[in-house]
């Protein structure tokens, strides 16, 4: 993990070439047409571990429904989760909602203006705070995400196939990213670094001949990285309770409690439940009807489209009633599991 021959004295020239390339080749994305810190915050949270194409479909509808941080803070969590549907990783939406409530309650509805103060909000870490502060307020703080990390490592000739020493490597990357930062255009520089990593300096088969800063690169190709751990299979189960009436069927779909295997896999905190909304109870009375277990291999799922982590949705969003049969294995081409409910009863006409 030895540092290459790159000299930070070349940083101003590198940044100038990078920004010239970015000005000419930047993708036309809606969040790049604003300096509103709230809108930038929403985009940065949505883009975490989610493809840009997926975010493009959901960014504007979300802001149309919650145009300000105050509007988001006033919204019911279920409505926020419904607008987040399809993005996955629903803990992000819950933390965004919680942080908006903190902004309204403790900051009089005004977004914090520095990276340090933004980091005090729930769910806002070093990356998100730096992105908001640099793009919205022009604070000279470097953003380090996966794309930037890869670009910096290759420019400086850093990297190792060993998993040891990664903490030291992270410090080197952060330090070099700060040294490369253009103090006059920090927001554009950060976006340019991320754009370069997303479109040119790819994880596999980087397009070095098209790179605007290839003359500064010590690697010129893929850099050594530790081998990733193999993905493991983990089962997920859904509990379904039915109670037939004379003219209608009552259905309770319950999420597993936090700490169960599926909750740990999703990594999301679940809404609080009342004593009468526990799995296997309908209107506070135990039910004897349960569906079988749904087994799923999440390693075969596209993260942004994985139906296993859809949030609870309201009865009005379910559409036409369906006959729900036994749960089946989740595999490509198989019917997705029915939407899950938490502590609410859905009533549908009996076919």
22-74 pLDDT, tens digit each:
999 999 999 999 999 999 999 999 999 899 999 999 999 999 999 999 999 99
Q: Across the beta sheet with 346-349, what order do the strands follow?
A: 239-244, 248-254, 346-349
Total-model pTM = 0.66
Pick from 99, 95, 210, 217: nearest CA to 150? 217
| pLDDT of 119 above 70 | yes
Which two tokens mark 106? 């403790």
CA–CA gap between residue 207 and residue 96 (Å, rounded): 35
DSSP 268-327: -PPPP--GGGSTTEETTEE---B--PPPB-GGGS-GGG-GGGPPP--GGGS-S-------
pLDDT in tens, 135-176: 999 999 999 999 999 999 999 998 877 777 788 889 999 999
Tokens encoding 319: 């559409």
Are 312 and 320 in contact by the 8 Å Cβ rule? The answer is: no
pLDDT value of position 210: 96
Report pLDDT digits (tens) over 224-271.
888 777 888 888 776 667 777 777 777 776 665 655 544 333 333 333
Of the candidates 296, 277, 298, 316, which has an alpha carbon nearest to the alpha carbon of residue 238? Answer: 296
Neighbours of 179 (CB within 10 A): 13
- Where in the sequence numbering do the catalytic residues fall? 44
Q: For the ranges 70-84, 233-247, 308-322, 330-344, which has the lowest average pLDDT?
A: 308-322
| Phi, psi dihedrals of residue 243, rounded to the nearest 5° | -140, 115
pLDDT given for residue 241 in this prediction: 74
CA 281 to chain centroid, in Å, comes to 33
* Maximal CA-CA distance, the chain: 80
Give residue limits of the domains in the chain. Answer: 8-216, 239-349
Tell me, what's the pLDDT at 288? 31
Cα gap 148→297, rounded to integer Å? 31
State whether CATH 3.40.50.1970 applies to domain 8-216.
Answer: no
So what's the pLDDT on residue 341?
41
Q: Calculate the CA 186 to chain-centre distance.
A: 23
Q: Is the pLDDT at 134 greater than 80, yes or no?
A: yes
Q: Please name every residue paired with 244 in a beta bridge, in sequence order, or none if there are none.
A: 249
- Kindly indicate the confidence band of residue 105, based on its pLDDT and cuts at 50, 70 and 90: very high
Beta bridge partners of 243: 250
* 212 neighbors 223 (Cβ within 8 angstroms): no
Residues of 48-63 as b/e, b for ≥16 C-beta within 10 angstroms?
A: eebeeebbeebbeebb
């Amino acid at each position: 993990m030895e540092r290459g021959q790159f000299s930070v004295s070349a940083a101003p020239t590198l940044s100038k070439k990078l920004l010239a390339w970015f000005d000419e080749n930047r993708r036309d994305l809606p969040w790049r047409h604003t300096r509103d810190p709230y809108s930038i915050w929403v985009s940065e949270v949505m883009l975490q571990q989610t493809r840009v194409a997926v975010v493009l479909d959901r960014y504007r509808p979300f802001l149309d429904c919650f145009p300000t941080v105050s509007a988001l803070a006033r919204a019911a969590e279920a409505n926020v989760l419904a607008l987040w549907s399809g993005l996955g990783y629903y803990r992000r939406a819950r933390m965004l909602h919680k942080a908006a409530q903190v902004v309204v309650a403790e900051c009089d509805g005004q977004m914090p203006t520095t990276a340090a103060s933004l980091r005090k909000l729930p769910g806002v870490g070093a990356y998100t705070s730096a992105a908001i502060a640099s793009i919205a307020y022009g604070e000279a703080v470097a953003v380090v995400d996966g794309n930037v990390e890869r670009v910096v490592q290759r420019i400086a000739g850093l990297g190792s196939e060993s998993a040891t020493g990664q903490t030291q490597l992270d410090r080197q990357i952060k330090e070099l990213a700060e040294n490369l930062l253009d103090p006059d255009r920090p927001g554009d520089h950060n976006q340019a670094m991320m754009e370069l990593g997303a479109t040119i300096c790819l994880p596999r088969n980087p397009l070095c001949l098209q790179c605007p800063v290839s003359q500064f690169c010590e690697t010129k190709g893929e850099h050594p990285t530790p081998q990733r751990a193999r993905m493991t299979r983990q089962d997920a189960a859904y509990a379904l309770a039915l109670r037939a009436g004379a003219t209608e069927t009552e259905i309770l779909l319950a999420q597993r409690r936090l700490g169960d295997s599926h909750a740990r896999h999703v990594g999301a905190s679940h809404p609080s439940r009342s004593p009468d909304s526990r799995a296997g109870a309908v209107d506070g009375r135990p039910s004897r009807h349960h569906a079988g277990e749904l087994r799923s291999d999440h390693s075969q799922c596209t993260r942004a489209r994985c139906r296993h982590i859809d949030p609870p949705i309201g009865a009005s969003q379910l559409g036409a009633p369906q006959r729900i049969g036994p749960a089946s294995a989740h595999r490509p081409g198989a019917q997705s599991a029915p939407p899950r409910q938490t502590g609410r009863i859905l009533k549908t006409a009996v076919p």
